[in-house]
Structure 1
Amino acid sequence: MSETTASLRKKIDSASDLQSVVRTMKSLAASSIGQYERSVAALAEYFRAVEIGLGAAFRCASGSELFSAPEGRGTEEIRAVVFGSDQGLVGEFNETVSEYAIETLKKETKRIRIWSVGERVHSQLKDAGFEMEALFTVPGSAKGIITLVGEILLSALKGENPADGAEFYLFYNSPLSGAGYAPEGKRILPLDREWIRRITAITWPSKSLPQILDRGNTTFGGLLREYFFVSIFRACAESLASENASRLAAMERADRNIDDLLEALGRSYHRLRQSGIDEELFDVLAGYEVMSK
């Protein structure tokens, strides 16, 4: 079917409208990346403070005996939270983290229970045969992460004693320096002796050494809750930053493709329009010659 100037004009208008939408999404993704990166940067200092506090608490009391899982103690199940996206137009973002989680967890012979953040990773992990416990909606802003983390803690770690040796993992895409992202897996439970050795090796930043005033486990419990909260919060924030970076890259590719399409359509339109003008001129000349004879 041959093109007409009207049909080409319609295609050019449609492509221009689509490019406006793409550029709007680029702007939103770029602005979203900033807020999540700032959240991660601000959280790094607080996370460091929590680790320093835990190290001091373990050195001052018998926390290493209370909260460490006995060496060689087995666990019956593995719990994992996988962070993905609800929306599309993010390239291979969801496939990357899903394949990494599947490759890691398929090696285990224990019962595996997964809590997913985002519909797309949920369906991919479910198709892989995993036991899906819950599906959480991806937060739309940095403020929404707090609510999400609270829901995950209540659902996935409710009543969990760190000394029981339960295994708990986080899988998410972590942003790389400059651009791009890479899948990452982090184990936050059990609190084994290797973890305690690393924590207790962190030196106190001043000469005034701290002391634990309460005789119970209030200090340990509070610091551990903050450790879990910050770990999940940071994983979610990094995942959201990576998601928007992936969306920004996808929109940039789409913008370039639309530019190429508009250029090709413009050439075809002008060529067809010029051909129509030439035909009209030939008709006028032919009519003039007939009238002259």
Structure 2
Amino acid sequence: MSQTLETLTRQMGSMESIHSVVRTMKTLSVINSAPYEQANRAIEAYHQTVRDGLHAFLCAAGLPDFSAQRIGSQVMVVFGSDHGLCGNYNEILAAHVAGHMKAAQGRAPIVLCVGAQMADALGDRSIGVERLFLPPASVDGIGRLANLLTQHIDDLRLGSHASEIAVDLAFTARRDSGVQAAQTMPLLPLDATVLNDLKQTPWVSRSRPTFTMSSAALFRALVRSYVFASLFKASAEAMVTENAARLALMQQADQSVEDRLEVLRSDANALRQDGITTELLDVIIGFEALKKPRRRSQPGTTKTFNTSSRKTR
């Protein structure tokens, strides 16, 4: 059905408004991503400091005995998004978590979820959430979220009948190729291979490390700092990838809006050209009609009628 010029103009106005919103969202995604990138780099330095503390502890006190420890509860922390406009971000991560649980073939873990929309995506796959946390609205909120998660994990460890719990982190991270992918990272118990590597690494200093507090209390404090740094890093990485997903989606939307605007402008230009052509043809036809001479009667001539054929009755 043919459209009028007025209809096309309204559609172009609406698409231009949408285009403005999409460009604003693109700009916000780029601006919001930068602080999270900086927070990610900052927590890397803190994480290395904690590793150095563990290195010093292991060099001074040796490797703790984990033989008597028994793994009790399984805990999984899932970092989702509540901000929207980032495509199927939560659904992809929920599918990854469901696949990880199926592959583990063990008892269903206690799920700590960040984001209400992430909880809904997990619920669609029949995965229950033990506790819901609000995602950070800014960089300052990452530390708040990491503190809350660390405290809750400590409570679970204290409430567990065993001396240790197993904790996994599920979030979306960037790969070396730049592609985003959902991944699961073990957090607790500490990887024995990592501890052995730290224990075997030589301590580069003239003095050996020492401490005065209880070795068990110091190790618990170091583990808590390690948990906090890992949770902070996972949350910051999730926020970076969320903004990257939103930026990619907005770029696709921007291209689609520009293509639609190009089509509408082309249709409007063609419709205007048709209107101009029609008006020009009307003017030309009228001008040609005015140029044609009118037929007039010759002067001095009269009309005659032949009455011979008529018969009078």
TM-score normalized by the length of structure 1: 0.90
119, 129, 132: which is aligned to 2:129?
132
Q: Is residue 17 of structure 2 the alignment partner of residue 17 of structure 1?
A: yes
Name which one, 1 or 2, has greater alpha-carbon Rg: 2
Alignment partners' CA distance in 1, 2:67 and 2:172: 28
Query: Helix, strand or coil for the counterpart of 2:129?
Result: strand
**How far did residue 223 of structure 1 move?**
1.3
Q: 1:1-293 residue pairs with structure 2 within 5 A?
A: 1-61=1-61, 64-65=64-65, 68=66, 70=68, 73-75=70-72, 77-107=73-103, 108-161=105-158, 164-177=163-176, 179-191=178-190, 193-215=192-214, 217-293=216-292
**How far did residue 110 of structure 1 move?**
0.9
Alignment partners' CA distance in 2, 1:38 and 1:188: 23
User: What whole-Å deviation, never above 9, does each CA across 1:235-278 have from its counterpart, x for those lacking one?
Assistant: 00000000111111111111111111111111111001111111
Alignment partners' CA distance in 1, 2:137 and 2:67: 37
Q: More displaced, 145-154 or 208-217?
A: 208-217
User: What whole-Å deviation, never above 9, does each CA across 1:188-226 have from its counterpart, x for those lacking one?
Assistant: 112364443244244434333211211353322221111
**How far did residue 159 of structure 1 move?**
4.8
Structure 1 pair 205–35 and aligned structure 2 pair: CA distance change class (3 A): farther
| Same amino acid, percent of matched pairs | 32
Alignment partners' CA distance in 1, 2:2 and 2:31: 44
Alignment partners' CA distance in 2, 1:194 and 1:70: 18
Amino acid at match of 2:97: A
**How far did residue 173 of structure 1 move?**
0.9
Contact 2:63/2:195, CA 8 A, preserved across alignment: no
Structure 1: runs of 5+ lacking an equivalent: none
User: What whole-Å deviation, never above 9, does each CA across 1:156-208 have from its counterpart, x for those lacking one?
Assistant: 43151597231111001112346432222111112364443244244434333
Contact 2:60/2:208, CA 8 A, preserved across alignment: no
Root mean square deviation, CA, Å? 2.2
Contact 2:77/2:168, CA 8 A, preserved across alignment: yes
Amino acid at match of 2:107: K
Contact 1:57/1:220, CA 8 A, preserved across alignment: yes
Q: More displaced, 167-176 or 177-186?
A: 177-186
Amino acid at match of 1:41: R
TM-score normalized by the length of structure 2: 0.84
Structure 1 pair 205–235 and aligned structure 2 pair: CA distance change class (3 A): farther
